[in-house]
Structure 1
């Protein structure tokens, strides 16, 4: 989807960072980007997230850092939009003004490391393992500390984020955000429709009509914005949903494929291997190993 540039409801113009706890029925469905860097810790809720040109399933415990200008959205599972009292989207967020951060740390001998971290974070960074555990502890502390203690914890957090070794970059190496906000409404409409309907067959004619385009124009338009063909984009969503189903319960692979929108098990296996790097059966074995 084509993201819009967002102006945050909180200002970091004269501050290095701000923290915010988010608790609501579901996350905003608007694919957007902003100048501030963002650290997000998912406390509750699940669904699919898009960061740059990366699409994956997310769940509680996820810790992601986004560099300046990275398009993103966390889109909750459909159950969150049905008014359930037992489901909510909760996360901790920190917004960092990268200009203020660089200026504040100038002269402390960490400029090269800081520049490298801010550069790679434009692909989106997800932290894992022991690094994630330590980072979450520091991040949570920021929400109850004040004064000098809060500043010291923030600097420790930045240092650990820069030097962590347990992480994975999300968007592809050649990803560049070249979006503007010219056609926000069209892409928002497409975005919501695809997420609501990816489990069924969506014809090119149907989706192109929604965009008020012919099929050829739509395919070119969609790929220029997402760096994926429409078919590839839908398959990425389906595989993310399949991963969720395999984590939640044990079902035959064929059932998982069908419930994720695939009518052909061979095609499902091929797409799963392309996106996850392993077959569905091997993925399930990995889940058992880590459980």
Structure 2
């Protein structure tokens, strides 16, 4: 499949686009588009790439993204098996800043919503009661038509603008510097890493794959993602480890080896550097949170 960098999601009929996504796996293409996006995952798990942020996702993941933030919800490999019987399910709204006309969000009454749009430029993770509210409203929005649908959507944006149950996704100062001409190159990087992160990732092999020298690739990757390539690998491995810790079927040593680490000490160090917690504490807090 040809990689997609820009994605057309406009509606020729409505002021905003509401889509229910039910597929064997989420769109495997790394892309961005000039729309705001409110998205929730109802079924599915994998690795989420948004801007310069990487993390594990599962059902419940709910985000608000501003325009032109590169993103990808990469489903776990099992979702690509023809006989898995699994499916992914999500609901998304796409809209532009002028979806209610030029200057609508510049009015004084709209100041909180304008601030929300500005925060969305780094992407927002939504959690707690606000997440529950947004997920419920997204699942029921298709029942409404016309002006009532617009009102419901504006109420959702208002709730988000008033909530403190949101956290930034991309790092401070993140800017999308990707170009259309780089689509295939970055897609190859993502695909290669997702296929090989459990084993030794050879920089020389990947650099050759995208027709660059090792040093040129490292400079290129750092300039586009705000992180080194090896930090990128570590975040993918730790994201996978978080998923395994959630499942609880493996002990911590087994999780380390299944995530591409040859020594438990290196795993523990990188896990704490990225999550701020030891693997044991992370798993303990997760189990406590779902009880």
Kept in 2, the 8 Å contact 1:33–1:71? The answer is: yes
Please say which of residues 93-102 and 31-40 is displaced more in the overlay: 93-102
Structure 2 counterpart of 1:187: 186
Question: Matches of 2:103 and 2:13 in 1, distance apart?
Answer: 12
Please show how residues 1-291 of structure 1 align to structure 2 within 5 Å. Answer: 5-8=5-8, 10-12=9-11, 15-101=14-100, 103=102, 105-106=104-105, 109-291=108-290
Question: Matches of 2:105 and 2:229 in 1, distance apart?
Answer: 44
Kept in 2, the 8 Å contact 1:53–1:226? The answer is: yes
Please say which of residues 103-112 and 207-216 is displaced more in the overlay: 103-112
Tell me by how many angstroms 1:138 deviates. 1.7
Please say which of residues 195-204 and 208-217 is displaced more in the overlay: 208-217
Kept in 2, the 8 Å contact 1:5–1:33? The answer is: yes
Question: Matches of 2:278 and 2:206 in 1, distance apart?
Answer: 30
Cα RMSD (Å) = 1.8
Question: Matches of 1:195 and 1:93 in 2, distance apart?
Answer: 25
Q: Unaligned regions of 5+ residues in structure 1, if any? A: none
Question: Matches of 1:36 and 1:83 in 2, distance apart?
Answer: 32
Question: Matches of 1:134 and 1:109 in 2, distance apart?
Answer: 26
Please say which of residues 96-105 and 197-206 is displaced more in the overlay: 96-105
Kept in 2, the 8 Å contact 1:30–1:73? The answer is: yes
Which structure has more relative contact order (CA 8 Å, sep 6+)? It is 1
Q: Unaligned regions of 5+ residues in structure 2, if any? A: none
Q: Deviations over 1:116-149 (max 9, x none)?
A: 2111111111111111111222222211211232
SS at 1:103 equivalent = coil
Question: Matches of 1:85 and 1:281 in 2, distance apart?
Answer: 31
Q: Normalising by structure 2, report the TM-score.
A: 0.93
Figure out how many residues of one structure are paired with residues of the other and give that number.
288
Q: Normalising by structure 1, report the TM-score.
A: 0.93
